[in-house]
Structure 1
């Protein structure tokens, strides 16, 4: 049984998230997903997520390709999470290429291509811009 581990915020779940999770799951027989806590998201992105940690956990746990999900509280604990969840493979999006190579002594590290043209940051910006336009049109 090959155990796969990946991490993310998974706010405003979109097709890019789903495709990455399905490709990660296909690399093994068990997919565990670490979902960044609200506090961690604020510290790394400077803003809170649209959906709460509990809501994002519920969404991720509902996906057929996900076998287990947990709340990630610390970026510095990645190695501990790898050991705790007995990961054989750590999967991250290729926008993180090379940043997790330090864990190659604990498990295989794989960077998967992101889905072009979509990101949560883009979606939030687009929604915000459309809201401004709609308010300005009134």
Structure 2
């Protein structure tokens, strides 16, 4: 991939929805080759406080099947920079809900040190795995 821009977009991608599709579609516009990092069940549980509903092998299969994604890998580390050490991408893509936060500022500092550009894309506010969980929970408890 000489002279091509490699992008990396991490996510849990649980209960795949249009917000996931939007970030993958738009992330592909920022690079020539897109790698999606699918966060492991263990890492997702540690960072989000809840285990994904869809198991990692199925989430990987779903993400790999999306035409905007060239490769999908397991993200099983707590530092995004460790994924860069493995994959050597040029651009990392995150939702703009990270911009201006402590996590986003750290991400920008870490990646500036290795020459990686951080690209923020609009977060799809009307759909998320958290909202889907809430709707499912309210329907189950209403029965």
Normalised by the length of structure 2, the TM-score is: 0.89
Name stretches of at least 5 consecutive residues in structure 2 with no aligned partner: none
What SS does structure 2 have at the residue aligned with 1:50? coil
Q: CA deviation at 1:87?
A: 0.9
Aligned residues: 133
Q: Aligned equivalents of 1:41 and 1:86: distance in 2?
A: 23
Q: CA deviation at 1:105?
A: 2.4
Q: Aligned equivalents of 2:125 and 2:45: distance in 1?
A: 25
Q: Which runs of 4+ in 1 moved over 4 A?
A: none
2:60 pairs with 1:57: yes
What SS does structure 2 have at the residue aligned with 1:96? coil
Cα RMSD for the two superposed structures: 1.1
Normalised by the length of structure 1, the TM-score is: 0.92
Q: CA deviation at 1:118?
A: 1.1
Map of 1:13-52 to 2, 5 A cutoff?
13-52=16-55
Q: CA deviation at 1:80?
A: 2.3
**Pick aligned residue for 1:75 from 67, 72, 78:** 78
